[in-house]
Amino acid sequence: MRTGPTNVNLKSLIGELRKKAYAEDIPLFERLAEDLEKPTRQKREVNLSKISRHAKKGELVVVPGKVLASGELSQSVTIAAWKFSQPALEKITKANAKAITINELIKNGFKGTTVRIIG
């Protein structure tokens, strides 16, 4: 029997994503909600090196999981994720990039930018 996430903050985030997805017809939010509902062993963990390989300068990169610090970030991007490791946050600020949570992405919006889901 599937129970879903037990983390209260994660449950709240998934509910908010679904509500926004239906109210504003944003398929990205529905996709993020589905990815965040997956079991822990299937959650995404993405290294900065992978983000650096696939993202272009100025893009919004969305990681429905955790960003880890392996590798270097070579361009200035905005990274939205469920969680960040502390060393990853340090490397992101050192590279003049921006790290935001998915909650902040929902509140601030992403109009006019290219969005890339990595993971």
What share of the chain in percent tops pLDDT 90?
Answer: 50
Does 88 reside within a domain? yes
Task: State which residues form the domain around 73.
Answer: 8-117
Q: Quick: pLDDT tens for 20-40.
A: 888 888 888 899 999 999 887
Q: Quick: pLDDT tens for 3-12.
A: 777 788 889 9
What share of the chain in percent tops pLDDT 70?
Answer: 94
Task: Give the 3-state secondary structure of residue 114.
Answer: coil
Does 44 reside within a domain? yes
> Which CATH number characterizes residue 109's domain?
3.100.10.10
Does 1 reside within a domain? no
Does 20 reside within a domain? yes
The count of domains in the chain is: 1
Does 33 reside within a domain? yes
Distant-in-sequence, close-in-space partners of 102: CB < 8 Å, separation ≥ 6: 13, 17, 32, 36, 62, 64, 80, 81, 82
Does 81 reside within a domain? yes
Distant-in-sequence, close-in-space partners of 5: CB < 8 Å, separation ≥ 6: 11, 14, 36, 37
